[in-house]
Amino acid sequence: MKKQRAQIYDKILKENLESAVLPLLQRYMGITILESKPIAEALHSTIKREADYLRIVLTDTGEEFILHIEFQSTNDRQMLYRVAEYDGFLRRKYPNLPIRHFVVYIGSEEPSMITQLEENLVFKGFQLVNIHKIDYTAFLQSQIPEEIILGVLSDFGKEPPEVIIRLILRRLKQLSNNENDLHKYLDQLNLLSQARKLDSLTAKTIKEMPITIDIRENALYKEAIELGLKEGMEEGIKKGMEKGM
């Protein structure tokens, strides 16, 4: 019932928007619109809902911006995020136009919707991590094969690419538990190297290097051997003490 009533409200307000609602903006928000043109793109294909009012407007002060109006008859806790969805879509389509959002509330209850995002939730941009600027040694020192692979995208300094690729291959061989894992890492390395246009050189280097794993060079194997030797020595000492007693 509430949904049907809200749809009726929406229909009436949309029909009367130009005549009734826009003067409200002039009276209470100080916005006098001289010209407007509709935004043709259907938003519902992206965010599943068509905006109630969406226009590019020109005001009497010469300001041009996108005007977005929504009508709301209930306290929707998701309203702020719904508006944020519209904002994100519109900013992508019209990066050079400012956007102003208004929600016209017509409900009988006191509105309790959040209208502003907290400071730490406001999108202001992102931090850029440029792998091309990170020294290759940072990746070679890793104990994680997936991270070492990223070294092919890093800063090689004055080192020739083939040298770095060989170092990466050597580390991958050392850290791979079996040949299946190694082949997987080599495939990933070859694919990623395309971003630096090094895939031909990478493929050539892989073919030239033996890819059979020497288990004795595996880091986990070495750790297991060291642990086994330590436990064996401790067991031997224990038995020796028991015999001496």
Helix then strand then coil, in percent of the chain rounded to 5, is 55, 15, 30
Q: Encode pLDDT of 114-148 as tens digits.
A: 999 999 888 889 889 999 999 999 999 999 999 99
Q: Return phi, psi of residue 221, to 5°.
A: -65, -45
State the pairing for strand pair 64-72/33-38.
unpaired
Across the range 159-168, mean pLDDT stands at 96
Q: In the chain, what percentage of residues exceed pLDDT 90?
A: 51
Question: Which sequence spans correspond to the domains of the chain?
Answer: 2-121, 131-213
User: Which of 12, 50, 56 has its CA nearest to residue 36?
Assistant: 56
Number of H helices and E strands in the chain, helices first, is 10, 4
Q: For residue 160, give every residue at least 6 positions away whose Cβ sits within 8 Å of its Cβ, in sequence order, or none.
A: none
The amino acid sitting at 129 is V
Q: Encode pLDDT of 185-198 as tens digits.
A: 999 999 999 999 99
Which pLDDT score, from 0 to 100, does residue 27 have? 85
Which pLDDT score, from 0 to 100, does residue 218 have? 47
Q: DSSP assignment, residue 177?
A: S
Q: Encode pLDDT of 167-190 as tens digits.
A: 999 999 999 988 899 999 999 999
